């Protein structure tokens, strides 16, 4: 770990994962929170996946998990390769008592089946379940996406001719809440290790605040003199892969109405190693953070919107 200016090019390697350190002040709220600006920060997680059928046609599937005072909710949106929405299915919070179900849709020549089972789901502080659940999406009898840890149940209950989905996890956007620290979990590559990310920044009682980012308890970057370096980027290494970290804390420091700070963790892989010749569809909410050379690769984006609690 080292201090650096706004635009650093050095990297820090995680050799092995330490036990994830947790802090009571770093956990997300279980319901919408009134922030110091008086705004309501909604507790949600949005995940974007690129899925490919055996005939090479592609879909972008967006899963949004929400948690409100009324309970849990899910929204599933399926777009085609031209970014046209084929269907959108919402399970409202007050309907979430129906924890098992399915939805059959016919969109043009496509038969779309969406199945879910969250009866035994275990949740942490995030709206996204940790285990004991599944969401499965079938298009023309091809299973194109399965989330969760109940593979046997999926195969026994779903009528599909193929159970080998070809999926790339493109991006995740999450709202996090705290006073001094904010935490999230992320898996930066394929079936790699899930890492605990903690962002720390104490703005009270100091004229020279400092920003720190830890991964699995290890300090990976530190930004001093934050009032001069409220925006910037720096490269760290996680699982041997370069991860570009972008931050924008201008609203925390100078906003007349303090809003959320934005943090983006961006990886990059060679597209040829995953899908030769496959066009990558990028989620619009991360496009403003794209920087060369990362804009040309196929990678994973984690965007954290950090809201300060009162």
Tell me which of 169, 193, 218 is where a domain ends: 169
Residue 241, pLDDT score? 84
For 277, the domain range is 24-41+171-308
In this structure, are 149 and 189 located in the same domain?
Answer: no
Q: Please indicate, yes or no, whether residues 157 and 203 belong to a single structural domain of this protein.
A: no
Write down the pLDDT at residue 182.
95
Q: How many domains does the chain have?
A: 2
pTM recorded for the entire structure: 0.77
Token reading at 225: 């003199």
User: Looking at the chain, how many residues does it have?
Assistant: 310
Strands across the sheet with 142-148, in order? 100-107, 110-117, 134-139, 142-148
Does 237 share its domain with 298? yes
Tell me the CB-side half-sphere exposure of residue 45, using CA atoms within 13 A: 23
Report how far apart, in Å, the C-alpha atoms of 283 and of each of 26, 50, 109, 124, 224 are: 27, 10, 26, 26, 32
Residue 2 forms part of a structural domain? no
Q: Are residues 231 and 207 in the same domain?
A: yes
Q: Are residues 156 and 33 in the same domain?
A: no
Q: What is the per-residue burial (b if ≥16 Cβ within 10 Å, else e) of 136-148?
A: bbbbbebbbbbbb
9 located within any domain:
no
Q: Indicate whether 150 and 180 sit together in one domain.
A: no
Mean pLDDT is lowest, of 136-145, 185-194, 230-239, for 185-194
Identify the domain boundary among 108, 134, 169. 169
88 shares its domain with 179: no
- Residue 64, pLDDT above cutoff 70: yes
98 and 218 part of one domain: no
16: in domain: no
Report pLDDT for 113: 93
Q: Cα(296)–Cα(183) distance, rounded to whole angstroms?
A: 29
Same domain, 302 and 211: yes
Q: What are phi and psi of 253, to 5 degrees?
A: -95, -40
- Residue 17: is its pLDDT beyond 80? no
- The per-residue pLDDT for 208 is 83
Lowest mean per-residue pLDDT among 39-48, 133-142, 204-213: 39-48
18 in a domain, yes or no?
no
């Amino acid at each position: 770990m080292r201090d650096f200016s706004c635009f650093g090019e050095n990297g820090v390697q995680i050799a092995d994962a330490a036990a994830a350190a947790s802090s009571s002040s770093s956990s997300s709220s279980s319901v919408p929170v009134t922030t110091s600006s008086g705004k309501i920060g909604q507790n949600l997680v949005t995940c974007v996946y690129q899925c490919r059928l055996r005939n090479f046609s592609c879909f972008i599937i967006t899963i949004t998990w929400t948690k409100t005072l009324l309970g849990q909710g899910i929204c599933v949106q399926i777009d085609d390769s031209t970014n046209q929405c084929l269907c959108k299915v919402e399970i409202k919070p007050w309907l979430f008592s129906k924890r098992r179900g399915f939805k059959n849709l016919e969109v043009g020549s496509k038969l779309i089946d969406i199945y879910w089972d969250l009866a035994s789901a275990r949740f942490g502080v995030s709206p996204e379940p940790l285990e004991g659940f599944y969401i499965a999406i079938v298009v023309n009898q091809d299973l194109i996406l399965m989330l969760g840890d109940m593979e046997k149940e999926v195969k026994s209950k779903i009528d599909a001719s193929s159970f080998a989905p070809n999926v790339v996890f493109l991006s995740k956007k999450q709202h996090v809440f705290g006073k001094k620290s904010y935490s999230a979990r992320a898996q930066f590559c394929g079936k790699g290790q899930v890492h605990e990310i903690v962002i720390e920044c104490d703005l009270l009682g100091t004229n020279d605040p400092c920003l720190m980012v830890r991964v699995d308890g290890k300090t990976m970057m530190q930004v001093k003199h934050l009032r001069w370096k409220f925006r910037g980027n720096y490269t760290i290494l996680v699982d041997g892969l370069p991860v570009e970290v972008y931050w924008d804390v201008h609203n925390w420091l100078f906003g007349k109405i303090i809003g959320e700070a934005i943090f983006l963790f961006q990886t990059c892989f060679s597209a040829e190693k995953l899908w030769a010749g496959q066009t990558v569809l990028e989620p619009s909410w991360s496009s403003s953070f794209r920087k060369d050379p990362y804009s040309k690769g196929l990678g994973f984006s984690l965007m954290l919107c950090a809201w300060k609690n009162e």
